[in-house]
Chains A and B, each alone.
Chain A
Amino acid sequence: MRKIDKKLELATAYKKWIDKLTAENKNHPVYSSSKNKYYYDIVANLLWVQSGLCAYTEMFLMNPADVRPENWKNGAFTKFDFMGQLDHYDSKLKTSKGWDWNNFFVVHTDVNTKVKRDKKFNGILKPDKVDYDPFYFLQYDFKTHFFIPNKTRTIQEQVLILEDIGVLGLNYKPIIDYRKEYLKPLVDEVDLGFSSIEEIRNKLIKFYTAFEMSIIDLKDNT
């Protein structure tokens, strides 16, 4: 799960609207993906800052070039097809602050519907948090392709991080399988000396964090 710099600089029409609501201390309208005219603006802006990846699992959702700034008009983006869903990171805020930019991420559909749903979690792993650093909180076990808490955290912290890893779908089985099939041959290329780390970095289109951590794991175990 990469750190995301969630600059709201493309969906300016939405920004104006939400800033006004906030300034006037007004309630948000009821959240509905189909009834709000800013829905696709939010999604397109997020996909741009998320580099086209699921905010949590780094599964590839769409080519970020499709939502690049040149394709926007007057701070709005026309309706488009995309893989994934708009997720309320903290589902408790869905009713009171259903259109809060800080609470939105675009994520893999299965992560949203089959894993995270409305499960309680600790909020330690939030990709846009100022103090979030994947290498501080997480570690990648290249043998199993599981994310686990970083061993340098305290045992109590590790338990909380582990819970959040589970809720955010980082170890959802189909995603482990995709990650394993994608990364194993690439890390092997490095391990066997057929490619340099830099060459593989240039090839990557997803699972960046797992790759970097795999290289660390590889070095630790050789």
Chain B
Amino acid sequence: MKITKIHIEEFHQFKNLEIDLTYPLGHAKAGQPLDKVCIIGQSGTGKTTLLKIIGGYTYTINDLFNEYPHHEFEKVKVFRKLNDLENSIRVIHDNIKKENIYGWENYKIGNLKVEFEEAVNKHHEYLEKIKTQFIFFPADLRYDFVDSSGKSLSDNKIIDFRKEKLGDIWNIVLSDIQKSQEEELKLRNQISKIAEKEKDINKINIAVKKLERFKNKKNNPISDIADNCLDPLLKNFNLRVKRELDFQTKEDIGFIKIEDLEGNEIPHGLLSTGTKQVLLTALPLYLLKPEDALILYDEPERSLYPSIQKLIIDFYTSLTKNSQFFFATHSPIIASCFEPWEIVELKFNSKGNVVQELYYENERHVDNYKIIPSYLTYDLILSKVFDIDQTHSNERSDKIAEVLMLRNQLKDFKLNNKLGTVKAKKIYAAYKDLSSKLFWDFDIN
């Protein structure tokens, strides 16, 4: 399921807020729901609330009402699309039955109005086919790997890490790992038996090759996770997945093991929060391989160094098919990974209400966007997207002015053929020293 529009007439700090979440005119996917959305805005503008509304108006309504009184949602409407089925949703509280229900409006299949029952049946039919429908990674993800309920997350259609046990991620592959390990043990035993009984070097070689073929086949779940998911990210931390596991039962395996590049296993408790963040946010997507899912990340940049922040958006989205992502972030690096129409910037207006800062003028067309993050330096992203007016310190300004003054003085010495004087040499030394401290970055400000 994908969200195409959110209309909030009034809810807390939001007033008359209409967020279009489709590709703009002039885009190859014009009118279709955005594949990924980045929500930015200063603290208090309601980024996380918006994520919760998106979750609540699709899959987690009861959680929404546990947090906010139901009557507050009467003026919120969310427009959704599931394959060719479109509808908008209002949440209505049934006072008699004491339950919250979704009120459907504007339901259409293939752009044609249909009867309510037909739309609902289609909705259920489509949902039934989606293995993982919804994943929510909150900002305060708990890093307790060991805590597991014993069940596999692949059994859940809705995965909300505010409630799920993180250890359950690993249960998705635990049986596969055990099977693989058992198969390997069997092959090793075969080699031992042949070696003991036959003493025939050819037969031993055949058995060894069989083991090698098995190990080379891509049916080793640990190697698969290492090669295709975690190691490309973990190399940024000088770490990798430990591939050789010594265990008797799957209970011995515990959670995924990480080692340094010299092969020393790092206890989970000693892993950095950045490493844990990467493990716990990438693994579920890789293992579940969601299709047609709605995936929400609150503060995906948490504890991650800028170089990794730069990678993760493309990385996460590459692990899924036809899914829609929402990221709420404070990071200019994360924001720089999005097209302008994929950014929802929330800001307070003069009345204290939250509005969306629009990056386009007149018609919502790709050609009318005036702020395009990929064209900007981080300095400009901070000032134009994040509205930070001072992107360098007063000290830097003073020093740039000084270096320009010194250069000017040197030009004057040159003009008067006095560059060889002691004074000119002293100024040149000061100019070079200060320039290098500014990394010679003052000509283009």
Binding site for B on A (CB under 8 A): 110, 114-115, 139, 141, 143-149, 151, 155, 158, 162, 165-166, 171-174, 176-177, 180
State which of B383, B398, B409 has its C-beta within 8 Å of the C-beta of A166: B398
Complex: A145 Cα to B389 Cα, angstroms: 16
Contact, CB under 8 Å: B445 / A166 = no
Known contacts A143-B444, A174-B389, A177-B383: A151-B398 contact under CB 8 Å = no
Known contacts A115-B394, A171-B397, A173-B391: A151-B444 contact under CB 8 Å = no
Residues of B6-29 whose CB lies within 8 A of A:
none
Contact, CB under 8 Å: B389 / A144 = no
- Chain A residue at minimal CB-CB distance from B412: A151
Complex: A146 Cα to B400 Cα, angstroms: 8
- Chain B residue at minimal CB-CB distance from A161: B405
Complex: A13 Cα to B444 Cα, angstroms: 50
Contact, CB under 8 Å: B412 / A146 = no
- Chain A residue at minimal CB-CB distance from B408: A151
List residues of chain B with CB within 8 A of the CB of A146. 397, 400-401, 404, 445
Complex: A139 Cα to B411 Cα, angstroms: 14
List residues of chain B with CB within 8 A of the CB of A151. 408-409, 411-412
State which of B398, B405, B423 has its C-beta within 8 Å of the C-beta of A158: B405
Min CB distance A166 to B, Å, is: 5
| B: number of interface residues (CB 8 Å) | 25
7 residue pairs, one from A and one from B, having the closest CB atoms: A174-B389, A171-B397, A144-B445, A151-B408, A166-B398, A148-B404, A148-B405
Complex: A101 Cα to B204 Cα, angstroms: 103
List residues of chain A with CB within 8 A of the CB of B411. 151
List residues of chain B with CB within 8 A of the CB of A172. 390, 394, 397
Q: State whether the Cβ of B443 lies closer than 8 Å to any Cβ in chain A.
A: yes
> Given known contacts A144-B400, A149-B405, what 10 new A-B pairs fall within 8 Å (CB)?
A110-B389, A144-B404, A155-B409, A171-B401, A172-B397, A173-B393, A173-B394, A173-B397, A174-B390, A177-B383
Min CB distance A111 to B, Å, is: 11
Which of A146, A151, A173, A177 has most chain B Cβ within 10 Å? A173
Q: State whether the Cβ of B442 lies closer than 8 Å to any Cβ in chain A.
A: yes
Binding site for A on B (CB under 8 A): 383, 389-394, 396-398, 400-402, 404-405, 408-409, 411-412, 423, 427, 442-445
Min CB distance A104 to B, Å, is: 24
State which of B402, B404, B445 has its C-beta within 8 Å of the C-beta of A176: B445
- Chain B residue at minimal CB-CB distance from A174: B389
Complex: A71 Cα to B398 Cα, angstroms: 41
List residues of chain B with CB within 8 A of the CB of A158. 405, 409
- Chain B residue at minimal CB-CB distance from A169: B394
State which of A141, A162, A166 has its C-beta within 8 Å of the C-beta of B394: A166
A-B contacts, 19 listed (Cβ < 8 Å):
A115-B394, A141-B404, A143-B445, A146-B401, A147-B401, A148-B401, A148-B405, A149-B405, A151-B408, A166-B394, A166-B401, A171-B397, A171-B401, A173-B390, A173-B392, A173-B393, A173-B396, A174-B383, A177-B389
Min CB distance B385 to A, Å, is: 14
List residues of chain B with CB within 8 A of the CB of A141. 404
Complex: A115 Cα to B427 Cα, angstroms: 27
State which of A143, A155, A162, A173 has its C-beta within 8 Å of the C-beta of B402: A162
List residues of chain A with CB within 8 A of the CB of B442. 144
Min CB distance B150 to A, Å, is: 57
Complex: A114 Cα to B392 Cα, angstroms: 13
Complex: A144 Cα to B399 Cα, angstroms: 13
List residues of chain A with CB within 8 A of the CB of B397. 146, 166, 171-173, 176
- Chain A residue at minimal CB-CB distance from B389: A174
Complex: A115 Cα to B396 Cα, angstroms: 13
List residues of chain A with CB within 8 A of the CB of B390. 114, 172-174
Which of B393, B397, B405, B444 has most chain A Cβ within 10 Å? B405
Complex: A145 Cα to B443 Cα, angstroms: 9
Contact, CB under 8 Å: A165 / B401 = yes
- Chain A residue at minimal CB-CB distance from B409: A155
List residues of chain B with CB within 8 A of the CB of A149. 405, 408
Complex: A145 Cα to B444 Cα, angstroms: 9
Complex: A174 Cα to B409 Cα, angstroms: 27
- Chain A residue at minimal CB-CB distance from B427: A155
Complex: A77 Cα to B1 Cα, angstroms: 62
